[in-house]
Chain A
């Protein structure tokens, strides 16, 4: 059974921890969207002011996005 199917079945049984897991996953999904906006923000800012730290800042924003995605996957698998 895949994690999604397991989660759905637990929901049907109204398992409190399944609901908590769903809540955490939704929250992390929103957080990933925020991380995407952050990458966009850095791109916008570096377009306005082009300096020596542009590349490291873009890399950091991207790393944050990747980290958010990984945490989402981690939550999906271990919760």
Chain B
């Protein structure tokens, strides 16, 4: 249990450490929080389970509820991931279509002999290099989708962005700094496949987070609002006690 000194406005600290320690020892203790972290985390998990009813086991899911065996770089020891979100799988269709065309492209060389002027060995190497390109394109596209995630834990919201091969940006906001959560869903495709953009406004350094093309935006908004409510209740209970 730590010792605390309650300072008032205008107080000046001029004493050395032993004096401060003696003063702290004699000062009235600041009351502890009314609910411990374990109880709060259980409440958060209950909120999510009540809303969704099950845990996601699919590692490729764009909407993972209480994902199993998943952790992130700055995760604290007891912090639990509540939701792991990616862009809806349908956003991958463009690059998948391009991949199919690229795979079929060498077959059109029979009808359009673009490489006829090259010796046979050069033609062969060109086709091999082409398919290697296709593999790299698929890998890059998949990595870009898989690792650009939005993480909601029982304590904060994290946005992980990989912009290029070696540039990453990780933004986060504590749940109690979130001020407003809203979502938008426009167009036939978004309505049909139930995905949209969730906008989170915060009181932190980054004023706004946008979760683009995420599945079930209404439910995400609902869960975030419930988590915010829980944080508000925590603050009120802390003040009252």
**A residues at B contact (CB < 8 Å):** 17, 20, 24, 27-28, 31, 34-35, 37-38, 40-42, 44-45, 47-53, 57, 60-61, 64, 67-68, 71, 74-75, 78-79
When the two chains form the complex, which single residue of A17, A37, A42, A53 contacts B59, counting CB atoms closer than 8 Å? A53
Q: Does B143 contact A (CB under 8 A)?
A: yes
Q: A48-B160, A53-B60 are in contact. Are A74 and B135 (CB under 8 A)?
A: no
* Interfacial residues of chain B within 39-72, with CB under 8 A of chain A in the complex: 59-60, 67-72
Q: A57-B143, A64-B135, A78-B121 are in contact. Are A45 and B162 (CB under 8 A)?
A: yes
B interface residues, how many (CB within 8 angstroms): 31
Contacts of B119 in A (CB 8 A): 17
Give Cα distance in the complex from A74 to B129, angstroms: 11
**B residues at A contact (CB < 8 Å):** 59-60, 67-73, 119, 121-122, 124-125, 128-129, 132, 135-136, 139-140, 143, 146-147, 149, 160, 162, 165-166, 168, 170
Query: Does the CB pair A71–B166 fall under 8 Å?
Result: no
Query: Does the CB pair B59–A74 fall under 8 Å?
Result: no
Instruction: Name the CB-closest residue of B to A78.
Output: B121
Contacts of A37 in B (CB 8 A): 165-166
